[in-house]
Amino acid sequence: MLIKTKSDVLSSEITDRAVFEARREFIKSATVLSAGLMMPDLGQAEPGKYKEVPIGPYSATLPVTAREDVAGYTNYYEFSTNKQDSTALAKGLKTSPWNVEISGEVEKPGVYQLEDILKDNPLQERIYRFRCVEAWSMVVPWIGFPLGEMLKRFKPTSKARFVEFTTLFNPDVMVGQRSSVLAWPYVEGLRMDEAMHPLALMVTGMYGDELPNQNGAPLRLIVPWKYGFKSIKAIVKIRFSETMPETAWYKSAPSEYGFYANVNPEVPHPRWSQSRERVLGSSIFTPKRTTEKFNGYGEQVASLYSGMDLSKYF
């Protein structure tokens, strides 16, 4: 089943799949950056390593954002609050070997090597729309595996109502963690039914390659109907809990960043509107597009919030 159909966008705006497969890495100017900025190396991925990964279900037929825009403009506060700086600063992060600790309300806790997790969870590619809270969006061909399929292997108990994720804490390398901009390490969470929804994806790559460091290597989360800050990077811990986790941005600014963080243009951020968005890499002269509720995935996920006041539980 497709999340989008070609009727959702103008035919002239759609990147033909065959063209995309032939040119995984686009060469275009990054108009969101200053004219004189030289684009740095965009990552340490092994070129084409994931080229043969099959297209998975729920993949949208939408125009894909240029790779260098996605790799060169990131929100990664563990390295910097500047969206361009992480591309260079994250190069020193060692992502192999990588372990993930599983704990809490689960029958199979332990420390698991990422390579073993990957053996048990076949990769697939999915093209998802991705929305940042600061009113820009992008469409990315992520490569990963369904979060819920992985979580089931650890056998959550009946007490597991939430899943908490924690980012690596390494201020020697992740220099942004030396600041007090957030309470480190970064923590995010989902309700169990959200985590088990087939749209939620654990990601290890993008654009046919391994995930670059600045985009969250080696393991990050993508929850396409929520704002980007829910999609935690460099995951080292997953804890199943009976109570709602205290997430990083909620602790920092609870009036601005709620636990649910569903894309909802009807609920403005206290300091700006959420009703319009600009596609990353587009010209400043290109009109902004209307933000879609649940980022356009309402048909698939709205039932998760039936009966909830989404202006209260934002």
How high is the pLDDT of residue 298? 97
> 3-state DSSP call for residue 275?
coil
Residues of the chain with pLDDT under 50: 1-45
How high is the pLDDT of residue 112? 98
Two tokens at 7?
A: 């009727």
* Full-model pTM: 0.85
pLDDT tens column, 30-71: 322 222 222 334 444 455 779 889 999 999 988 999 999 999
Please answer whether residues 262 and 310 qualify as being in contact, where contact means their C-beta atoms are separated by less than 8 angstroms. Answer: yes
CATH number assigned to the domain covering 6-305: 3.90.420.10
Q: Tell me which residue of 245, 233, 239, 248 sits closest to 98, measured CA to CA.
A: 233
For the beta carbon of residue 145, count every other beta carbon within 10 angstroms: 20
Alpha carbon 156 to its chain's center: 23
Q: Helices in the chain by DSSP H: which ranges?
A: 17-22, 67-72, 86-89, 114-120, 147-153, 192-195, 248-252, 298-301
Domain ranges in the chain?
6-305
